[in-house]
Structure 1
Amino acid sequence: MSALRDFATWEPLLRLMRVAHAERLAQPGGYVAGQIGRSGWSVPLGRGRRTRDEFGAVERVQGALVDAGVDDVSFAAEISPGGGAVLHLFGTGPAVEAGIGGPYPGALTLSEGSVPEPWRRLPDSVVGAVPDPVVDLGLLERTLRERIPDAIGATEAEIAAAEARLGVALPEELKVLYRVTRARWEDWGEGYADAERVYEAVGCELFPLDRLYVADVASRPCRWKSAAMAAVVTPADAAVQGLVGSPGWIAFGDNGGGDRMVVDLTPGPRGYVGQIVMLDHEQVIGAGLLADSLTDLVVNRRSEWCSGRLWDRPPVVARVRVGSLLSVRAAADPGLEVLSIGGWEGEPVSLVPLVGLPRLRTLVAYPGTLADPLEIARLRGLEFLELGPEEWRVLLAAGGVPSGLSAAAIAVQVQEDWHPLSVVALANELLGLWGRPPISHTVVEGKLGPVG
């Protein structure tokens, strides 16, 4: 960590920020703040195109991050008119996610190893679920061999090894596919041309057996806050369960755009066992139906699918704001799991209409939106809570922070001017209630000398 905490590492960047924000820094309590990660950064360097000096100054810090084995660092800098600089560096650690695009911490994990409810959800058992009636193993094999006659198939031992690694038996259609082609690059003498023939024959970039994986919840990681804002929703007429992942989802290919093709052994109420679904790489919950079976996919060359967004709609997920619901009472449905309040300039609202709702687990209330933050104590079952700094202070002073929380976040509006030191202190106070590791704070001091 020595280079990251060395004033010389930061000096070029501090000089640039001093020039860009001279007026702000000259004010009492003036500071500039930002965040730098290995692959991205948010640093206040003024407007316009970035210069070579700016890129060089940031890359100097990024190099120190790599050397220290650290993914990112947030900072706040105070620079006196005489050139004295005090740099505050904030780490994250096992209990804190990095913030996005700014110096403030992300979600605080109050219960070690906890994940939001959608990531704990297992598939429902669908009584009477059967395979697609058109499944025809012989037709599937003949069609594949006609399209890729020179393909090299997998042995029974290779298929058995894949099953042992995955801990699940491969469905018969998938076994037929791999008996025709094992999809290994070393088998394709002409490289991309042979790979393209397999793509056209199957309808995807087929994974070799050693790259098959179970698309369970661990395969779709998500930040705590984003995950807490989602919900598992499976309508009664759905072919696919609206899950994050399933032990019955076997990923066997890619459509070339990052979306994963999956055999679904845990279908929805109107689906078939062994149907083919797509996991949209831009979403972390749900899947879209592609074909009723592998036979259907290959023989009929299915390519149309739609992932949908059932997981962020009322009544399960609701938003009280301009352009959506206009009152908390309108959102208060027995099925409500996630509520976000903010994005309007009206009067602060009461949470009383939410009292007694059996499934409410996530509440996000932006600064100034609540008439009485202490009403939160009447909401049983919350596992994630995001509030503004002042609202959190009200709860802390009254001993009213819900003890059942698994995670929390501090909402700071863009137009507000909260010094990162105060937000980090608040975050550490919340972490301390659960005995979790605090956010680290390192002070680096040095002299920049007079301007010019």
Structure 2
Amino acid sequence: MSSIHDFATWEPLLRLVRDSHAERLAAPGGCFTGQIGLGSWTLPVQQPSPVPGRASRVVDMEEQFTAVGRVQDALRADGAGQVSYVVETASDGKTLLHVVDPGPAVEHGVTSPFVGALLLVEGAVPEPWRRLPEDVPGAVPAPSADPALLERTLRERLPDAIGATEEEIAEAEARLGVALPDELKALYRVTRARWQDWGGDYAAQERVHNAVGCEIFSLDGLYIGDARSRPCPWRFAADDAVVTPPDAAVQGLVGSPGWIVFGDNGGGDRLALDLTPGPAGHTGQVIVIDHERTIGAALRADSLTDMVIDRPKGRQPIRDADDPPVVARVGTHLPGGVEAAARPELEVLRIGRRKGEPVSLAPVVGLPRLWTLTADPGTLADPLEVAGLTGLEYLSLGTEDWRVLLDAGAVPRSLSAAHIEVRGEPHPLPVLDLANELLALWDRPLITRTVLRGDLDTDR
């Protein structure tokens, strides 16, 4: 037994939970859930009130920090990063602690019982993360692209910079598996942007960034901004779709093997040269990959020369694909409902509960591109209609709808991932059992639960 499965490890934390919620834990079905990680935790206890006239101090939280620290020490000893738990009271008054290990087939969830998407097919990724750029015949560099002018300008601005050799540039190309555009070669011939070249001089680093117009990565730090560089949990990624309008300068991709990331705007957004532009773009244009978005990129400049010399302000906004006909949100009270959403282009259908009657899925049966369905609990008139959506890769339903599909043997076998939508505060253990039923259909590793039993009323 590992120390995380030792009741004594949890006793200080369990006392805090009991003392804060004794009445609820004593009630039938009463329980609390939480999670402990090495860097954060959720602990359902009352926070101590600070002394009037002063702010809270670390000492005010010392008891909580100590209790959580014991569990964190056990995690480190076991080589684990986090653990979920459920606390309840047995019929004899003793405390029951369920130590939950979601295992490798479950993504982390953000609400009780901390179960995110169930990964039914190992290694599967959502459809947008598999999408490659489309060919754009006739795409050429912008007229403003001028590697020679770019190099002269940067040498004037950075006369003392240390540039990369042709051998170093060739090594970078071999590592990336792609030939660097001439403008990017011109940039790194002037400065390879290595920290050791600046000798710890922040002012020298700042001069380079000011000369270029962004925080550039060293030649060794260049990377390809493909879909793998932009991971996203299934629960959120399944709501995305790739759409590139005919007048778009940038393709609406998650990432591309032709996005060469070379810098940062100082706020976490990446700058890249785009070798796979949209229909209205230019080869080698500068794009911004927003760190707060999971899909798409914005045009920053038509060329690296344009960005460095002319310094265009701002950037073109990202064109959202989160709209009909590709993505549709349907409320049970909205005019048209599912019937209006049923277009051949539909990929993502979200059904949210508002006022009105539950809806039928019959209008979307047979649509060729529909791969995601999320339906809030109580919104489907007949959950068994889901079985007719033979191309689904991701399905999110409430517990009762999943129960109907499981009992009928009608869970779509095309699924790569699934999610159980939980509303309110149901007891978490039946939700975990339901998740295991779904995982078992695909012979995936199950969520494990270890039950520890102890008496908190004994001497401390």
- From the superposition, tell whether residues 128 and 91 of structure 1 become closer, same or farther in structure 2 (CA, over 3 Å): same
What residue in structure 1 maps to residue 206 of structure 2?
196
Q: Distance in 1 between matches of 2:290 and 2:378?
A: 36
1:359 to 369, 373, 392: 369
Q: Distance in 1 between matches of 2:188 and 2:335?
A: 51
TM-score with structure 2 setting the length: 0.93
CA contact (8 A) 1:42 1:101 kept: no
**More deviation, 436-445/112-121:** 436-445
What residue in structure 2 maps to residue 426 of structure 1?
434
Deviations 1:372-398 (A, max 9, x none): 100111112000001111110100111
- From the superposition, tell whether residues 190 and 426 of structure 1 become closer, same or farther in structure 2 (CA, over 3 Å): closer
What residue in structure 2 maps to residue 43 of structure 1?
43
Matched, 1:438 2:446: yes
Query: How well do the aligned residues superpose, as a CA RMSD in angstroms?
Result: 2.0
What residue in structure 2 maps to residue 312 of structure 1?
322
Deviation at residue 45 of structure 1 after TM alignment: 1.4
- From the superposition, tell whether residues 87 and 374 of structure 1 become closer, same or farther in structure 2 (CA, over 3 Å): same
Q: Distance in 2 between matches of 1:216 and 1:392?
A: 35
Deviation at residue 62 of structure 1 after TM alignment: 2.5
CA contact (8 A) 2:249 2:282 kept: yes
CA contact (8 A) 1:35 1:101 kept: no
Q: Distance in 2 between matches of 1:296 and 1:182?
A: 20
- From the superposition, tell whether residues 283 and 135 of structure 1 become closer, same or farther in structure 2 (CA, over 3 Å): same
Deviation at residue 2 of structure 1 after TM alignment: 1.6
1:370 to 373, 380, 405: 380
Deviations 1:177-235 (A, max 9, x none): 00001111122246111111111110111111111000111100110111111111111
3-state SS in 2 of match to 1:97:
strand
Deviation at residue 315 of structure 1 after TM alignment: 1.9
How do residues 17-166 of structure 1 correspond to structure 2 at under 5 angstroms? 17-46=17-46, 51-80=61-90, 84-166=94-176
3-state SS in 1 of match to 2:454:
strand
Please identify runs of 4+ aligned residues in structure 1 that moved more than 4 A. Answer: 47-50, 80-83, 322-326
AA of the residue aligned to 1:361: W
Matched, 1:4 2:14: no
Deviations 1:157-178 (A, max 9, x none): 1101101111111011100100
Deviation at residue 16 of structure 1 after TM alignment: 1.0
Matched, 1:330 2:348: no
- From the superposition, tell whether residues 321 and 306 of structure 1 become closer, same or farther in structure 2 (CA, over 3 Å): farther
CA contact (8 A) 1:83 1:451 kept: no
Q: Distance in 2 between matches of 1:308 and 1:325?
A: 29
3-state SS in 2 of match to 1:124:
coil
Q: Distance in 2 between matches of 1:52 and 1:306?
A: 49
Q: Distance in 2 between matches of 1:80 and 1:450?
A: 16
AA of the residue aligned to 1:129: A
AA of the residue aligned to 2:328: A
Deviations 1:306-349 (A, max 9, x none): 44251322221121238977722232222111111124143211
Deviation at residue 46 of structure 1 after TM alignment: 3.4
Q: Distance in 2 between matches of 1:106 and 1:208?
A: 37
Q: Distance in 1 between matches of 2:335 and 2:159?
A: 58
**More deviation, 113-122/33-42:** 33-42
Structure 1: segments with no counterpart, 5+ residues: none
Matched, 1:295 2:305: yes
CA contact (8 A) 1:85 1:446 kept: yes
Deviation at residue 100 of structure 1 after TM alignment: 1.1
TM-score with structure 1 setting the length: 0.95
How do residues 240-251 of structure 1 correspond to structure 2 at under 5 angstroms? 240-251=250-261
3-state SS in 2 of match to 1:425:
helix
AA of the residue aligned to 2:448: S
How do residues 162-241 of structure 1 correspond to structure 2 at under 5 angstroms? 162-189=172-199, 191-241=201-251
CA contact (8 A) 2:353 2:377 kept: no
What residue in structure 2 maps to residue 383 of structure 1?
393
Deviations 1:287-310 (A, max 9, x none): 000010111111112341144251
